[in-house]
Chain A
Amino acid sequence: MLTAEDKKLIQQIWGKLGGAEEEIGAEALTRMFYSYPPTKTYFPHFDLSAGSDQIRGHGKKVVAALSTAIKNIDNLSQALSELSNLHAYNLRVDPVNFKFLSQCLQVALATRLGKDYSPEVHSAVDKFMAAVASVLAEKYR
């Protein structure tokens, strides 16, 4: 469960990204496609070459959704309701993949933040991403 401290840390760390959020989204996806090749099966219609416009565009979308979630961190279920429907009825991404994206997003954050990606921040982000994943999968069955 996200504590008040977790929520504060997440909002702080998101604030430290200084506009690099979109880049981070694309980087997280790129890392995911490299480290977990089966994730590419969800994007047969994409150009997955490095720096592709589609990856940039999609990374931007993903990060925008996370930003929305962070702004509504006390009510993730409601804030992500549309996305939850989309994933359940349309995209049907197997939930194991949410963990892979979380890992790669965290690596992207850690490479940029170095020591600022402290154990406490790491824990808060990991919990947050797990909470988001749980909401996205909650209507699956």
Chain B
Amino acid sequence: MQGPLPVPGPPGAANDGVQGAEEGPRAAIKAGPGSGSPACDPREPEPEFLRATRSPPADTMVQWTAEEKQLITGLWGKVNVAECGGEALARLLIVYPWTQRFFASFGNLSGATAIIGNPKVQAHGKKVLTSFGEAVKNLDGIKNTFSALSELHCDKLHVDPENFRLLGDILVIVLASHLGRDFSPVCQAAWQKLVAVVAHALAHKYH
């Protein structure tokens, strides 16, 4: 089974314009002194009783039927990751404009046309969906796969996990518009489950 995804390198290195890794959106929201909120302060030791819940026993792992796995991997083969990723992220920023709070450094997000044509949006969307593809390749180890990314999204990026659910639902709609009738109800169900599992995994390390 593949191990956790690597955490991106030092901020400013190759972070393609996303808010500096330390500050996240707080830089845009005028953080006061000591901007790390206590809830996400990595210096706080994790209580023992919580630590015990970090590695749940195997029987609480997500169960996939053979059919669900086939519906997911089969469909993924047809997905143009760059195109769908860019489109999904653009739609997130258009349909739920408050999500733009995380992307102040992306330049022109002044309307749907600007957002769709924005090269940083397209590039970042591709990056996000590529990462999502790791879940498809590791359906039985999604929590582990996104462990480091979960920490990143909490500690550095300060992203409310609700945003993962919003993006997941948008991704499903993008797939529907590209695949048409092939995106059957049972296919959608497998994908709604997958996006929910990925969102949960990304939220798992939050504290």
Contact = CB atoms under 8 A, between A and B. Distances in A.
B172 A103 contact: yes
A33 B191 CA distance: 14
B28 interface: no
Nearest to A107: B176
A115 B177 contact: yes
Interface string A28-42: 001100111000000
A123 B180 CA distance: 19
Given A27-B185, A31-B188, A103-B169, A111 B179 contact: yes
B183 A111 contact: yes
A22 interface: no
A119 B173 contact: no
Contacts of B5: none
Nearest to B169: A103
Interface string B139-178: 0000000000000000000000000000001001110111
B35 to A, nearest CB: 32
A114 B87 CA distance: 13
Interface string A120-134: 101100100000000
A111 B112 contact: no
B203 interface: no
Contacts of A64: none
Given A35-B188, A106-B173, A126 B95 contact: yes
Given A119-B94, A120-B94, A122-B91, A34 B177 contact: no
Interface residues of B, number: 25
A117 interface: yes
B78 interface: no
B112 A119 contact: yes
B100 to A, nearest CB: 13
A113 B177 contact: yes
A39 B29 CA distance: 39
Contacts of B51: none
B192 interface: yes
A117 B188 CA distance: 17
A111 B94 contact: no
A112 interface: yes
A17 interface: no
Interface in B85-133: 87, 90-91, 94-95, 112, 115-116
B176 A110 contact: yes
A122 B188 CA distance: 18
Please list the 3 inter-chain residue pairs (A to B) with the smallest Cβ-Cβ separation, ordered nearest first: A110-B176, A110-B177, A34-B189
Interface of A: 27, 30-31, 34-36, 103-104, 106-107, 110-115, 117, 119-120, 122-123, 126
Interface of B: 87, 90-91, 94-95, 112, 115-116, 169, 172-174, 176-181, 183, 185-186, 188-189, 192-193
